[in-house]
Amino acid sequence: MDLSIGEVAERSGLSVHALRFYEREGLFANPVRRLSNGRRIYHEEDLEWLAICTKLRSSGMPLAMIRQYIELVRQGPGNEHERLELLRRHETHVEERIRELQETLAVMRYKVRVYEEHVARGEADRLWNPSHPDAARTDSHQECRPPQGA
C-alpha cells in the first residue's frame, strides 16, 4: 500500500519536516520512492523501519551510528556480527545512561522530601537562604545530596 508523506507523518508521529530530514540524512533503510510529479511514496516497511529508527534516536544513538547500522543492513546478509557489535555497544551506552538517570532521580526524590519536610514545619526559608547565612550553613547538607543508599 502506497502512503503519502502526510499519512506517514500521522501514523509515525513524526512531522513532515522530520521525515524529510530523515530522508536527507540517509536514515531510511530503503530509498524513498517518488512519483513522476516528485511526491514521495512510502510503504509499510518504511513505517516499520521508522519505528526502530526513532527508538534508536530516542535512546541516544548518534546519527552517524544509525547511518552505519543502516549501511550494514543495506549490504544484506553476511555482516550480522558487525550489526550485533554495534547494537551491543549502544546497549552498553543506554545501560550507563539509565544508571545515571536513576542516580539523578534519587537526588530529585531526596530534594523533594527535604523541601516537603521544611515546608510542613514552616522552615522553608532555612533552605539555601543567602540572607540567613547561619540557616543556610546548618541545612546546606540537606540541599546538596541524598543520604547513602537513597
Q: Other CB atoms closer than 10 Å to residue 143's CB: what's the count?
A: 15
Q: Other CB atoms closer than 10 Å to residue 49's CB: what's the count?
A: 20
Mean pLDDT of 63-79: 95
Judged against a pLDDT cut of 80, whether residue 73 lies above it is answered with yes
- Check whether residue 64 and residue 85 sit in a common domain: no
- Check whether residue 9 and residue 53 sit in a common domain: yes
- Angle, CA of 69, 73 and 75, to the nearest 5°: 115
- Check whether residue 9 and residue 45 sit in a common domain: yes
Among the candidates 24, 51, 76, a domain finishes at 76
pLDDT tens readout for residues 34-47: 999 999 999 999 99
- Check whether residue 61 and residue 112 sit in a common domain: no
The model's confidence at residue 143, banded by pLDDT at 50, 70 and 90, is low
What percent of the chain is modeled with pLDDT above 70? 85
Compute the distance between CA of residue 123 and CA of residue 30 in angstroms, rounded to an integer: 62
Judged against a pLDDT cut of 90, whether residue 146 lies above it is answered with no
Q: Which of 33-37, 50-54, 64-68, 143-147 has the lowest mean pLDDT?
A: 143-147
Mean pLDDT of 48-65: 95
- Check whether residue 90 and residue 67 sit in a common domain: no
CATH classification of the domain holding 56? 1.10.1660.10
- Check whether residue 85 and residue 136 sit in a common domain: yes
**For the chain, the helix, strand and coil percentages under 3-state DSSP, each to the nearest 5:** 70, 5, 30
Contacts by 26-30, CB closer than 8 A, 24 or more apart = 26/67, 26/70, 27/53, 27/63, 27/66, 27/67, 27/70, 28/70, 29/70, 29/73, 29/74
pLDDT tens readout for residues 16-26: 999 999 999 99
In sequence order, the β-bridge partners of residue 3 are: 42
Among the candidates 55, 76, 97, a domain finishes at 76
Question: How many domains would you assign to the chain?
Answer: 2
Judged against a pLDDT cut of 60, whether residue 149 lies above it is answered with no
The model's confidence at residue 48, banded by pLDDT at 50, 70 and 90, is very high
pLDDT at 14: 96
Q: What is the mean pLDDT of the chain?
A: 89
- Check whether residue 51 and residue 91 sit in a common domain: no
What is the span of the domain harbouring residue 125? 78-150
Phi-psi label, residue 104: left if phi above 0, alpha if psi -120 to 50, beta otherwise: alpha
- Check whether residue 111 and residue 48 sit in a common domain: no
DSSP 103: H
- Check whether residue 65 and residue 85 sit in a common domain: no
CA distances from 76 to 13, 51, 103 (A): 28, 20, 40
